[in-house]
Structure 1
Amino acid sequence: MSPPTGTSVKIDDTTRDRLKALADGAGLSMKDYLARLAEEKEHGKLLDTATAVFRRIIEPGILDRFDADFGGLPPVTHETPRAA
């Protein structure tokens, strides 16, 4: 089995420097930092989807009580597809 291949992405120097500083601060290589960032963004999107579904299916009144007791669910940052 051959090792995975890589690719290059052209970004401006300022963005590269910002990403490098973030990676260094996390104690990671740029490659590992970007992989972790992608995983975190995917995870966040899945949580947003679950939150949106929960808000659509919850019984009236229960969500208000949840919000009052726990400060509410996090805001949804993207639209989720609805079943047909």
Structure 2
Amino acid sequence: MADTTVKIDTGTRDRFAAIAAARGTSVRALLAELAIEQENQLNLGVATAEFRKAIAQPGIAEAFDRDFGGLPQPSHTSSRAA
């Protein structure tokens, strides 16, 4: 893949460098990871919106409950960090 240059202010550059150093990686790798994470978040938002539209259709939630036994009940015995 070809390289390119992105102009950012020095404060932002320094923050990226500090985060990358703390993770033991390069700024290049950090930015690639952040781009993938943000792309995944956008896709998840689209998928969530489509899922909500689908289950809002009449009878869908009832069919899900009938066919799959509904949503699991929250576990009160699971340990969670406070």
RMSD: 2.2
The runs of 4+ residues in structure 1 deviating greater than 3 Å are 59-62
Name the residue aligned to 2:41: 44
Q: Counterpart of 2:20 in 1: which secondary structure?
A: helix
The higher radius of gyration belongs to: 2
Percent of aligned pairs sharing the same letter: 43
Higher RCO, Cα 8 Å, sep 6+ = 1
Q: d(CA) in 2 for partners of 1:21 and 1:36?
A: 15
Q: Counterpart of 1:5 in 2: which secondary structure?
A: coil
Shift of 1:21: 1.1
Is residue 28 from structure 1 mapped to residue 41 from structure 2 by the alignment?
A: no
TM (normalized to structure 1)?
0.64
Name the residue aligned to 2:5: 8
Name the residue aligned to 2:15: 18
> How many pairs does the alignment contain?
63
Residue by residue, what CA displacement relative to the aligned partner does 1:45-83 show, whole Å, maximum 9, x if unpaired? 111111000011104694xx86xx56xxxxxxxxxxxxx
Unaligned runs of at least 5 residues, structure 1: 71-84
Shift of 1:41: 0.5
